[in-house]
Each structure stands twice: as structure tokens, then as C-alpha cells.
A and B are shown apart, each in its own frame.
Chain A
Amino acid sequence: MTAAMISRPVYPGLSPDQYAKTHLILCEGEGAAAVLDMAAKAPKEFFSRALILFCPAGTGYEPKLAALSPKSLWVLPTIATAMFRLRGVLATATMGTRVYAAGTEPFIGSVLQETLAVGIDHKSVFTEHRGSAKRRVQCVHCKGCTDDVTASPFTCTHCGLTLFVRDHYSRRLGAFQGVCVDAEVPGEVPPVEELYR
């Protein structure tokens, strides 16, 4: 399998949408630094219309985000809890809301899944990749997703098959594709490579 990366999403970086009525900003870990960088380019009143959902992931950006004086700042312990809050906000959101997502690829993938579900085109969401290159990988056999994959091949945390990570990305699943590496000759597994640190 060759490494054509055409299905891999492009993350062009955050930039302020001066016209949006509400800025719904999601950031995880180092993604907060992307929000702070955007703040330097944003007009003064920008954050008075901003709702920030932040997963610290071990970082200490909360005071700096609070200093932007957003309309709301919600600090949430995990991606799952952030997505739960996001669904609540989207349920009553209207046109004129601009969504921003910054952080690791699995985090951005989760945000895009939620926004897609309420009819927001993926190209409307401003994204920036920050932090680790770890991947979420879906096992094509059992359909289970394994988070925080940094090496290929790896063992599926659901069904136990040894999977190599194909450079093929599904926005709908927010995941790369994992395919059994030793399907033809069971046990014939190439050496593990750390690729996505």
C-alpha cells in the first residue's frame, strides 16, 4: 500500500470570522495556543461573542483563555464530555454560528462528526492541528476505534487483530483505517514503526 494522503484532511489554521454572531471555539491541549494566536489577529470585541470549550489534556492554558474574557469558558475533563456539551450548544444554535476546532487530529475529528450531524458542512469549520500526531484508527474488521495510536502495526483494543494503519481517513468516523497486517500469512508481522508521535 502506498502512502498517498489525498483523503487526509487539511487543517488550514484558525482565523477570526469577523462577521459571525457567535464564535463556538473548541480546543484541546496545545490547541489552546492556536486560539491565543488567533486572538492576536482578532478585533477587540471578538471574544465577547465567543463560547470556548476547552479540554486541558494536562496543559495549563485555562487562565490565558479566561483572560480573553469570552462570553463563556467551559473547561471539560475529556473529549467525550466536551462533545456532550457541544451537542447541547448545537441543539439551539442558529445560522451565523462559526465553529473553530484546534487540537489533535482525533479531537478535531470528533468536533467535525458532531457538526456534520447538525448539517454544518465540514468546509465551514475552521480547524488547526496542534499537539501530538497520534491517530484515532478504526479497525475495518470489528469497527472498533482505538485512540492515541502512535505506531503501525498495532493491536486493535477491541478484537485483538494486528492492524497496519492505512493512510486513508474518514471524516464521518473521524478516524484512519486499520487493516489486518497478517491476514495472508498469520503471524507474519512487519516490525513496529513509531510514526505518529
Chain B
Amino acid sequence: MGLMFKDETYRGDFTFYNSPEAIRHFPFPFHEDKYMYAVNIEPHTPGPKGSAYEFPIDIDEHYVSDMRDRALVLQEDPLRCQSLPHMITAEWDLVELLMTSMSDAYPEHFTLKRNGDAWHWINRPMGIENEFTFGDTSTLPYPPMEYITRQCQGDFCLLDQRDGDLWMDSGMVTSQADWSLDFDIGMSFKEWHAPVPLAHEIGVFDRALKFLLAMQIGRPVRRLNWTMTINPRLDTSPENYHKWGTDRTTVTPENVGDKVHLRVELQALWRLPRSNAIVFSIRGYLIKMRELVTIPKWGRRMPRVLKTLPPELAAYKGLTRYQDMTIDWLAKYDDGAPTSPGCFPD
């Protein structure tokens, strides 16, 4: 049985919502009743059936609408997808990773036939079919990274490994939480993380970098990151901040449940085989507060987490204006009962 893909929007009338299955699929990020920045990297191994971790690349009911929103973003601003010339080998590595992962996990939707370098790709939900020569860019309608990431949920960055550092030299970034690929492309690991508060001082990035430099092929890792977004908007880029920034002032005690969304990034990293680059995927998930509280454990835990958030982090994540209002709205779902350890619903 295949997925049922919904027709919904992430702008204008904002018709996005989660089905009950999608709510249970949501990668709730808080394993306890508080939050602090941590490296929290774990092996990206298959998780429970129906969870966002079941397959290496997660495709869900929002797939077709996500890809339509990405196409709209790229039409307005082609600089959201950029790649420095030396990354072409890594781009092809990414094509291989995504096509094999998607067709292995979802054979009813995606098919990949390989005969040496002659590849045949079928994407049924998007109605795409191409025969091309692996390694020959002229045989695809787009450059390889752009071609495949126009067909895969999540933002993608390709990190070149040189001189004991990782360099963000390629990316498809259309649904980011307030960072600009166009600005950050070419930066080293610590440079592109420069605006993140608190974490540098406690050595988070030193440890993370050392770990990532030693990543092995076939042993991907993942971590979760999170923020909050007003309205189910995927494109919360700095480029368009002057257009969406006012959203943050539209929250009222009455509309918190529908307007305020928890936005979770499932960040997964793979060592790529022939380029020795690393792919850094940032797969975003949105859930309305009204949807979140349908899982009682999450409804209890969410306000507790928001109350313990250090003010620097709240400011960095842009929550300051509506943090208290959200805590107040959530309070009626927290009966004070203890919560069970771990992120999954009881």
C-alpha cells in the first residue's frame, strides 16, 4: 500500500495539516521535560515502523506539496540551489544515495533501473521519468544535485572535507530556519555555525566536527534540531524575512493552536563514497500545537520544555514574542503528571 499524497499549501491560504498517521509519524524531539543544546548524534539506523526513522530517506503524505513549494521558491530565487564547481562528483554521489534509498523504501512510488552507467529513474507521484548516463551531466534536465533534490523532501548540503575541516560547498536550501545558503556557501564548519549562541563556548562544535571528520561510509548518523514557526511556512529564509517576519506578531491567545507550529529538523549525515564528501540533509517537519496535544505525553512535555529554555536560545530561535502565550495555551494540556522517558508516544 502506497502513501496518499495530499494537495496543500505552505503559503497564502496555508492549507497544510497533518493526518492522525502523520502526527504519530512526527519526530518529537524532546526526550525529557527540558532542553539544552547538545551534540546528541546517534546512528541513523532504522526506527519503528511508521516513524520518521523507518527508512533512511523519509517520504510522507506532504511529499508532492513540499516539492511544489520548493519549485515556487526556486522560481523566485534560483540562488537557493548552488554548487561550487569542484563538487560535481559529490553531486553524483548524492544522486546515487537518494535514488537508491527512495526506490528501496518506496518501490510503489519510485523505481531505479541500473545497467552500468545507463540509469532509468521513474518518479510516479511527480510524473517524472528519465533515462540518463550516470556521471554525464548533459543527460539530465538539471545539474545532478538540483535534479534529485527537486524530487526529495528536505534541504541538502554537500560538505567537502579538506585540511581537517568541512566546507559547505553545495546545497539545495529552500525550507531553512533563518540561514542563507547564498551567504554561507564556501564556509568552514565553525564559520557557518558562527551565529549559533552558547554552543561554541561549551565545545559542541569541536566535538561534532571531530566526529564528522571520522564518519565512515555506510554508517550514517542523525540528530534532531528544532525551532518554532508561525503558520505552516516552509520558506522561513532570511532572504524573505521582511515578508514573513510580521507573522510573529499575529499570534493571539485564541489562535495559538492553529498558528504556532513546532518545527523539527531531522538532520542526517552520510559519508559519500567516491567524493569523500558528506551529505548533510535537513528534513523539516511541521506540527500545529493543536495537533501536538493529541499525543498526551507531548502535550504535557511541550510547555515544560518552553519554560526552561535559556533566553539566548529563545531569542536565537525567534520565539520571544509568542513564547509565553504558547506556554499559557499549552498549560491546559499539562495535568502535572510525570512523563515517560524518551520521545515516542506512550
* Direct contact between A and B judged by beta carbons closer than 8 A: yes
List the interface of chain A (C-beta within 8 A of B).
1-2, 4-8, 116, 123, 138, 140-141, 143, 161, 166-173, 177, 179-180, 183-186
For A163, the closest partner residue in chain B by CB is B242
Check B315–A1 contact: CB distance below 8 A. yes
17 A–B contacts, CB within 8 A, in A order: A1-B315, A2-B197, A4-B194, A4-B195, A123-B163, A140-B183, A141-B238, A141-B239, A168-B183, A171-B187, A173-B183, A179-B238, A179-B241, A180-B245, A183-B241, A183-B246, A185-B249
Check A168–B194 contact: CB distance below 8 A. yes
For B84, the closest partner residue in chain A by CB is A172
B35: chain A residues at CB < 8 Å are: none
Q: Does B258 contact A (CB under 8 A)?
A: no
Q: Does B312 contact A (CB under 8 A)?
A: yes
Check B197–A183 contact: CB distance below 8 A. no
CA gap between A2 and B310 in the complex, in Å = 13
In the complex, besides A4-B195, A7-B190, A167-B194, 7 extra interface pairs with C-beta distance below 8 angstroms are A141-B242, A168-B195, A172-B185, A180-B242, A180-B245, A183-B242, A186-B246
Classify the interface of chain A: helix, strand, loop or mixed: loop
Known A-B contacts A141-B239, A184-B246; A4 and B183 likewise in contact (beta carbons under 8 Å): no
CA gap between A173 and B79 in the complex, in Å = 14
B315: chain A residues at CB < 8 Å are: 1
Q: Does B6 contact A (CB under 8 A)?
A: no
Check B246–A7 contact: CB distance below 8 A. no
Find A6's partner among B200, B239, B321 (CB 8 Å cutoff). B200
B195: chain A residues at CB < 8 Å are: 1-2, 4, 7, 166-168
A123: chain B residues at CB < 8 Å are: 163
Q: Does B21 contact A (CB under 8 A)?
A: no
Interface string of B69-101 (1 = CB under 8 A from A): 000000000010000000000000000000000
What band does the interface of chain B fall in when counting residues whose beta carbon is under 8 Å from A?
Answer: 20 to 34
Nearest-neighbour CB distance to chain B for A125, whole angstroms, equals: 15
CA gap between A7 and B186 in the complex, in Å = 11
Known A-B contacts A179-B238, A183-B242, A186-B246; A4 and B200 likewise in contact (beta carbons under 8 Å): yes
B193: chain A residues at CB < 8 Å are: 6
Find A140's partner among B190, B239, B244 (CB 8 Å cutoff). B239
Known A-B contacts A177-B180, A183-B245; A170 and B238 likewise in contact (beta carbons under 8 Å): no
CA gap between A146 and B336 in the complex, in Å = 53
A172: chain B residues at CB < 8 Å are: 185-186
B180: chain A residues at CB < 8 Å are: 140, 177
Nearest-neighbour CB distance to chain B for A184, whole angstroms, equals: 4
Nearest-neighbour CB distance to chain B for A160, whole angstroms, equals: 11
CA gap between A143 and B237 in the complex, in Å = 13
Nearest-neighbour CB distance to chain B for A135, whole angstroms, equals: 14
For B320, the closest partner residue in chain A by CB is A184
Q: Does B182 contact A (CB under 8 A)?
A: yes
Within 8 A of A (CB), among B294-346: 312, 315-316, 321
Nearest-neighbour CB distance to chain A for B162, whole angstroms, equals: 9
CA gap between A123 and B238 in the complex, in Å = 29
Q: Does B32 contact A (CB under 8 A)?
A: no
For B199, the closest partner residue in chain A by CB is A4
Closest 4 CB pairs of A and B: A183-B245, A7-B194, A6-B194, A7-B191
Nearest-neighbour CB distance to chain A for B195, whole angstroms, equals: 5
For A2, the closest partner residue in chain B by CB is B197
Check A4–B197 contact: CB distance below 8 A. yes
